[in-house]
Amino acid sequence: MHLPAPFLTDRDAVEDAHALICMHGEEAGFAAAARAEQYRVLGNHVHFARWRQIERLITYLSVEDILDTVH
């Protein structure tokens, strides 16, 4: 399985992903997707892209296989 690592602009994205995982558990990815959709509807493309990246990060973190080089 090849899943590229998501691009993160700052640590806040990781903290938001962690908060959603704590609040929603396995449904955290859906919560991030819902937030992204809300911002898309509002026309806020910056926040839409940010929450899509957080959704990808949550997906990346949920995979139990080793996806890349381990240092």
- 28 in Cβ contact with 40 (< 8 Å): no
Q: What is the pLDDT of residue 21?
A: 95
Tens of pLDDT, residues 10-23: 899 999 999 999 99
Q: What is the token pair recorded at 59?
A: 């997906």
How large is the angle between the packed helices 45-62 and 28-42, nearest 10 degrees? Answer: 170
DSSP sequence for the chain:
---PPPP-SSHHHHHHHHHHHHHHGGGHHHHHHHHHHHHHHHT-HHHHHHHHHHHHHHHHHH--S--S---
The rounded mean pLDDT for the chain is 88
